[in-house]
């Protein structure tokens, strides 16, 4: 093995093992920042030793053991006076003594630590931005530069965000354990939200820097699958994975030849990724079986996405079922946005007048004041009812509200079509 | 990035021998690790070419179907994984940890899956659209006879 080959191998091993190493050490030293540094120390040692000595049989166990030893050294040096740390140090030494054979320390036994680290990175003491950055950095193994490019942010900004997040966690002293009991549901919701945010950041981008954006969707999917592997008994985790797989299956069909967005019903369904749809439907099935009669919001959203995925053509879409699921979703977590979506589904199932009645009922909601999809939906329904003048005004209003250039162009076209008395 | 990892067939896989409990457990455990790493998109083991295999040979417009079994086992595939990874090197490092998939010498081949962007300039959305329109025009003309 040449030095370059060894370096490439070590970097790949780092990507595979870093989260687990950090997770194990974080539980010892109770500090993510220190844990990351110690893990990086171990990695640097590997870079020095492995090109000559060769890559060990079980590189993950080697890295973990090396980082653990560093942690013990550090704790001895730093905290001699503090009984708590000394005790942890002794415990670890006993563990070391009881585990002379590196190869017997199997990778899959760190599942709990890794899950604990995911919960810590998504800890409620952190801002949402910080949770996202820390999760991508610690669990996804992305560099600060990669995260910055993915979120179209400056690298120093992201670096700062991560430093501050680690400091906040250092002060908050979380226990790095997997939350149990009543706390668990809320903490899990935060983890799911972070992963879904990462996914949506990739999914909602259209043109421009789009080359890196699908990568964010992939990263989110991978994080979701990791979580599903670590917490397979949680129905909502499968729900989120299903939702992301089903939405991502449409990625290629969502953008037209000139980079313009293509609406769901106008998409070429032949360009949907049907293998991905199958994976999504399988995850949905798993989640629904676990949830029984009470599916959570991710499972419900996945069930809606599945209605679209199962329809071979737009006309075959089961809109009545979609409207009913939106109804359940709204009952679970009342939201004018969900209600607006229900209006669209009801319009498709029962006609534009029924949908418009629902949309009109929420038109005064303060949360929808600057939401371009409200006038956009109303415009569409009004046009279908032949009320073109009102429709044109709504489309123009929607065009003024959207921040996406492509979408603005599309809405202006529809406003002009309405002026000509066409539905478009 | 997506990768396909193929297990090359050999005399062992072509014999139709079923894996022992130990072999099966080891492979199951490895696959679980891939699932937990969030990489597993799919994978299957394939029957030997004596069972349910066929080849279709294309030559211009001519198609010839040849039934299995096929003699040259090294050219056959005995199973595959479909994986999502950040790099080829990551797949290499993972697959080095795979238990030997056959008795004797085995070969795993790693190939990167084409994604739409890989077609580059030669397959831009405009071209794609044009290609589709050409297809539609051709279909209409054929329909008119």
pLDDT tens digits along A357-369: 999 999 988 888 8
Same domain, B47 and B106: yes
* Enclosing domain of residue B19: 2-113
- The alpha carbon of residue A60 and the mean position of all alpha carbons in its chain are separated, in whole angstroms, by 26
Q: Which residues of A touch B40 (CB under 8 A)?
A: 225
Same domain, B103 and B140: no
Residues ≥6 apart with Cβ < 8 Å to B12: B102, B103, B104
Same domain, B85 and B139: no
Same domain, B109 and B122: no
Interface touch B125/A252, C-beta < 8 Å: no
pLDDT over threshold 70, residue B121: no
Contact pairs from chain A to chain B, CB under 8 Å? 63
Interface touch A275/B125, C-beta < 8 Å: no
Same domain, B40 and B76: yes
Same domain, B59 and B96: yes
pLDDT, mean of residues A36-40:
94
- pLDDT classification of A306: cutoffs 50, 70, 90: very high
Dihedral sign for Cα B124, B129, B132, B138, please.
Answer: negative
ipTM computed for the complex = 0.76
Same domain, B91 and B136: no
What is the model's pLDDT at position B131? 52
Q: What gap in Å lies between CA A64 and CA A17, rounded to an integer?
A: 9
What is the model's pLDDT at position B132? 52
- Beta bridge partners, B4, equal B82, B111
pLDDT, mean of residues A53-64:
90
A316 interfaces chain B, CB cutoff of 8 Å: no
How much of chain B, in percent, has pLDDT values that exceed 90?
67
Task: Say which range, A43-52, A72-81, B47-56, B96-105, has the weakest mean pLDDT.
Answer: A72-81
Same domain, B107 and B135: no
B40-45, strands of its sheet edge to edge: B40-45, B77-84, B2-8, B108-112
Nearest CA in chain B to A57: B97
Q: What gap in Å lies between CA A237 and CA A196, rounded to an integer?
A: 11
CATH number for B10: 3.30.70.1060
- pLDDT classification of B55: cutoffs 50, 70, 90: very high
Give residue ranges of B with CB < 8 Å to any A CB: 29, 32-33, 35-42, 82, 84, 86-87, 89-90, 92-94, 116-117, 125-126, 128-129
Q: What gap in Å lies between CA A224 and CA A218, rounded to an integer?
A: 10
- Beta bridge partners, B3, equal B83, B112
pLDDT over threshold 90, residue A76: no
How much of chain A, in percent, has pLDDT values that exceed 90?
61
What is the model's pLDDT at position A257? 78
Same domain, B92 and B55: yes
- pLDDT classification of B65: cutoffs 50, 70, 90: very high
Tell me the pLDDT tens digit for each residue of A202-260.
Answer: 887 644 445 447 788 999 999 999 999 999 999 999 999 999 999 999 988 888 777 77
Going by the DSSP 8-state scheme, the letter that residue B113 receives in this structure is P
Domain count, chain B: 2
What is the model's pLDDT at position A36? 93
Same domain, B66 and B137: no
pLDDT over threshold 60, residue B140: no
Same domain, B85 and B125: no
pLDDT over threshold 60, residue A100: no
Same domain, B101 and B123: no
pLDDT over threshold 90, residue A304: yes
- pLDDT classification of A142: cutoffs 50, 70, 90: confident
B93: nearest CB among A13, A255, A256: A13
């Amino acid at each position: 093995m040449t030095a370059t080959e060894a370096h490439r191998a070590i970097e790949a091993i780092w990507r595979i093992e870093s989260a687990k190493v950090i997770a194990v050490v974080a539980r010892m030293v109770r500090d993510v920042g220190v844990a990351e540094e110690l893990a990086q120390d171990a990695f640097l040692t590997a870079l020095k030793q492995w090109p000559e000595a060769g890559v060990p049989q079980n590189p993950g166990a080697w890295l973990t053991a090396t980082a653990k030893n560093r942690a013990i050294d550090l704790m001895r040096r730093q905290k001699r006076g503090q009984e708590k740390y000394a005790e942890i140090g002794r415990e670890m030494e006993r563990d070391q003594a009881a585990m002379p054979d590196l190869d017997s320390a199997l990778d899959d036994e760190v599942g709990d630590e890794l899950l604990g680290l995911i919960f810590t990175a998504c800890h409620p003491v952190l801002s949402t931005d910080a949770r996202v950055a820390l999760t991508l950095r610690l669990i996804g193994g992305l560099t600060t530069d990669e995260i910055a490019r993915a979120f179209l942010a400056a690298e120093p900004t992201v670096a700062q965000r991560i430093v501050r997040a680690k400091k906040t966690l250092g002060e908050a002293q979380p226990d790095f354990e997997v939350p149990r009991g009543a706390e668990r549901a809320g903490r899990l919701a935060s983890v799911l939200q972070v992963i879904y945010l990462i996914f949506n950041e990739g999914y909602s981008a259209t043109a421009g820097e789009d080359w890196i954006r699908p990568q964010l969707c992939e990263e989110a999917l991978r994080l979701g699958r990791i979580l599903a592997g670590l917490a397979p008994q949680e129905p909502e985790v499968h729900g989120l994975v299903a939702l992301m797989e089903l939405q991502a299956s449409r990625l290629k069909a969502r953008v037209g030849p000139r980079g313009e967005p293509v609406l769901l019903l106008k998409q070429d369904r032949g360009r949907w990724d049907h293998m991905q749809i199958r994976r999504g439907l399988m995850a949905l099935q798993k989640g629904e079986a676990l949830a029984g009669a009470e599916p959570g919001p991710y499972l419900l959203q996945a069930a809606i996405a599945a209605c679209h995925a199962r329809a071979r053509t737009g006309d075959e879409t089961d809109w009545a079922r979609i409207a009913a699921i939106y109804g359940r979703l709204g009952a679970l977590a009342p939201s004018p946005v969900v209600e607006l979506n229900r209006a669209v589904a009801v319009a498709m199932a029962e006609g534009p007048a029924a949908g418009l009645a629902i949309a009109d009922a929420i038109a005064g909601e303060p949360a929808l004041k600057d939401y371009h999809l409200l006038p956009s939906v109303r415009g569409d329904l009004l046009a279908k009812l032949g009320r073109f003048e009102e429709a044109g005004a709504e489309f123009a209003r929607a065009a003024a509200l959207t921040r996406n250039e492509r979408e603005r162009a599309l809405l202006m076209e529809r406003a002009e079509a309405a002026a000509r008395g066409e539905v478009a | 990035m997506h990768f396909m990892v193929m297990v090359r067939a050999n005399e062992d896989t072509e014999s139709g021998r079923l894996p022992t409990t130990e072999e099966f457990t080891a492979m199951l455990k490895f696959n679980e690790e891939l699932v937990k790493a969030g990489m597993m998109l799919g994978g299957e083991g394939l029957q030997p070419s004596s069972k349910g295999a066929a080849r279709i040979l294309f030559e211009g417009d001519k198609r010839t179907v040849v039934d299995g079994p096929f003699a040259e086992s090294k050219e056959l595939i005995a199973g595959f994984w479909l994986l999502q990874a950040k790099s080829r090197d990551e797949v290499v490092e993972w697959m080095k940890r795979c238990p030997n998939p056959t008795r004797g010498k085995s070969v795993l081949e790693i190939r990167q899956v084409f994604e739409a962007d890989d077609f580059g300039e030669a397959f831009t959305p405009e071209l794609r659209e044009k290609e589709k329109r050409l297809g539609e025009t051709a279909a209409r003309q054929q329909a008119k006879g």
